[in-house]
């Protein structure tokens, strides 16, 4: 329980005073801070005003990051909005370059961490995030294992598949990736379009995170795990318990 993802998912509504107070508490208690930016970010929207507002939300997140001790800004890039994946890729890339040019210098050492998307028609496949991280400085992936499970229609669910994903990121991004591993975990339901709803861990919903924990322990990766279960605390306790037990019995 030493990491927290500040949920600015309906917009960053915190005052500067409160942001400073959050930062002070994070330092005092040694909490690794990240921030989940607004759900309605849509960097590929057909509406250019929406794209602009989306970039502004990321700019604001970068500017507030040092006040709050936030080192990682996690966000959903948005749907393809009828564009081809190639067009969407170019739009996201250009948007993130623009965001960084605007506010990167003010961000302390915070970086931008787009998530693997749970919906099939949303930007954020493994391949897209690898290319984006290679091409744009200060961008690294957030691996949401539940999203990946939903996006792959339940295929990415076991040790060989988890290993393959981690190896692909590590091979392409190296130490930058392994030093900044950021994972979201939860159960999830999905349809043929991908993600439906986040669910608790350890129940009847996939993905089972035990093989993932086993890989992490075995290789010695040091990811930050953020639980996105309803409610988040039970998932966090469950994940921590698994990892602790694996350490104990190894």
Give me the least distance between CB of 248 and Zn ion, in Å please. 28
Give me the least distance between CB of 118 and Zn ion, in Å please. 8
Give me the least distance between CB of 200 and Zn ion, in Å please. 15
- 84-92, 142-150, 204-212, 217-225 -> range binding Zn ion (CB under 5 A): 142-150
Q: Is 184 in the site for Zn ion (CB under 5 A)?
A: yes
Give me the least distance between CB of 185 and Zn ion, in Å please. 9
Residue 88's contacts (CB-CB under 8 Å, 6 or more residues apart) are 44, 80, 81, 123
Nearer to Zn ion, 128 or 228 (CB): 228
Give me the least distance between CB of 24 and Zn ion, in Å please. 27
Give me the least distance between CB of 184 and Zn ion, in Å please. 4
CA distance 55 to 78: 12
Nearer to Zn ion, 12 or 113 (CB): 113
- 81-89, 125-133, 211-219, 220-228 -> range binding Zn ion (CB under 5 A): 220-228
By the 8 A CB rule, do 108 and 66 touch?
Answer: yes
Q: Is 144 in the site for Zn ion (CB under 5 A)?
A: yes
Q: Is 57 in the site for Zn ion (CB under 5 A)?
A: no
- 7-15, 53-61, 155-163, 181-189 -> range binding Zn ion (CB under 5 A): 181-189
Q: Is 119 in the site for Zn ion (CB under 5 A)?
A: no
Give me the least distance between CB of 150 and Zn ion, in Å please. 11
By the 8 A CB rule, do 145 and 157 touch?
Answer: no
Nearer to Zn ion, 128 or 144 (CB): 144
- 103-111, 141-149, 158-166, 191-199 -> range binding Zn ion (CB under 5 A): 141-149
- 14-22, 188-196, 222-230, 231-239 -> range binding Zn ion (CB under 5 A): 222-230
Question: How close are the terminal C-alpha atoms of the chain, in Å?
Answer: 22
Which CA distances in Å does 217 have to 20, 109, 143, 151? 35, 27, 17, 26
Q: Is 72 in the site for Zn ion (CB under 5 A)?
A: no
Nearer to Zn ion, 26 or 146 (CB): 146
Under the rule (CB under 5 A), what is the footprint of Zn ion? 144, 184, 228
């Amino acid at each position: 329980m030493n990491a927290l993802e500040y949920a600015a998912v309906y917009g960053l509504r915190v005052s500067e005073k409160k942001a400073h107070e959050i930062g002070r508490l994070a330092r005092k208690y040694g909490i690794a801070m990240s921030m989940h930016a607004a759900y309605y970010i849509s960097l590929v929207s057909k509406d250019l005003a929406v794209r602009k507002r989306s970039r502004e939300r990321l700019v604001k997140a970068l500017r507030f990051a040092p006040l709050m001790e936030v080192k990682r800004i996690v966000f959903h890039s948005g749907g393809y909005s009828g564009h081809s994946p190639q067009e969407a890729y170019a739009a996201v890339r250009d948007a993130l370059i623009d965001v960084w040019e605007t506010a990167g210098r003010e961000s302390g050492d915070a970086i931008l961490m787009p998530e693997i998307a749970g919906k099939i028609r949303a930007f954020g496949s493994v391949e897209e995030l690898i290319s984006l991280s290679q091409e744009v400085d200060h961008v690294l992936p957030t691996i949401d294992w539940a999203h990946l499970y939903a996006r792959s229609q339940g295929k990415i669910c076991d040790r060989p598949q988890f290993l393959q994903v981690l190896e692909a990121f590590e091979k392409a991004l190296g130490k930058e990736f392994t030093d900044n591993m950021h994972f979201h975990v939860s159960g999830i339901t999905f349809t043929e379009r991908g993600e439906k709803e986040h669910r608790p861990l350890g129940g009847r919903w996939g993905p089972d995170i035990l093989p993932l924990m086993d890989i992490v322990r075995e290789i010695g990766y040091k990811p930050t795990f953020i639980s996105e279960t309803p409610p988040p605390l039970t998932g966090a306790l469950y994940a921590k318990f698994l990892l602790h037990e694996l350490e104990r019995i190894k």
